[in-house]
Amino acid sequence: MTRTKVAIVTGASRGIGAAVARELAGHGFNVAVNYASNHDGAKATVEAIKKAGGDALAMQGEVQQAGALDRLFEAVQEKWGALDVLVNNAGVGATAPLEQIDAEMIDKAFAVNLTGMLLASQRAARAIGPDGGSIVNLSSALASQPAPTQVLYAATKGAIESATRTLAQELGSRKIRVNAVAPGPVETDLLPLNDELRGFLSSKTALARVGQPTDIAKIIAFLVSDAGGWITGQIIGTDGGLRI
C-alpha cells in the first residue's frame, strides 16, 4: 500500500504559503500548516484542505525558535509518522533605506528569513527517510535585481540562495533535493495593489501581469514531485519574465 506523502509549509496562514499548502494537498499530500500569529488564517487553510478531502493540521510557532520547530516536527511525526517535503516560506519584509536600518531590524530579518530556514531544514534533513525528499526555499527576484530600500531584504534572500546551493550539495547523497523559487511581485495582502501600481508592475513582466500565489504554488508542487526529481541546487525564477 502506497503511503500518503507528508509536507510541512511554514508561514502558511495566508498568501503564497497558504496557496502552497492547498496545492500540495490537492496533489495528495498531508500538510502541516505552520503559522506565527494568524490563527484564523491557518485554520481557514486547514479547513479548505479538509473540505477538499485532504488532511492537514495547524501548528503555531515562530521558525527562528528551535523549540517551536521541535514541537512542529514532533506533531507531524506523531500524526503521520513521516516527512517528505519542507517548504520554507515563512519570512518577513525589511523595506527601509540604509540610513534607517538598525541592528534590531537586521537581527529580526536574518532570524526569520535565514535562521528559521536553516533550523527547519536541519530538522527536515533528520526527519526525511531513506527514500529521500525535497526542500524548497522562498527567495525573491530582489536577490538578483537590486532595488532601493531593499538592501536588508535582498541580503537575506541572497543568503538563502547561497545556502540552497550548498545544502543541495550536502544532502544530495541522502536523496534530499534542495531548490529555491524566486518570485517577482505577487499580489497578496502583504502587497496590496491599486490599479496604477498593478499596471506599472504588469508592464515590467514579459507576461504582462502580476503574479498570483497560485502561480508560485504550482511551480513548487512540480519541484517536489517525481517529475522534478532531477532538479536540485537550482534557483527558479518565478516572475513572469520580470528579469528577461
Residues with catalytic function? 153
| Cα separation values, 34 from 18, 43, 54, 59, 96, Å | 10, 10, 16, 5, 27
Write out the three cell numbers for 8: 510541512
Strand order in the sheet with 6-9: 56-60, 30-35, 6-9, 85-88, 133-138, 176-183, 235-238
Positive or negative: CA dihedral 227, 232, 235, 241? negative
Grid cell 479538509 is found at 50
Question: Which of 215, 225, 141 lies closest to 180, judged by CA?
Answer: 141
Q: Which amino acid is at 18?
A: A
The Cβ-side half-sphere exposure at 200, using a 13 Å CA radius, reads 5
Read off φ and ψ for residue 3, nearest 5 degrees: -80, 140
* DSSP 8-state code for residue 150: -
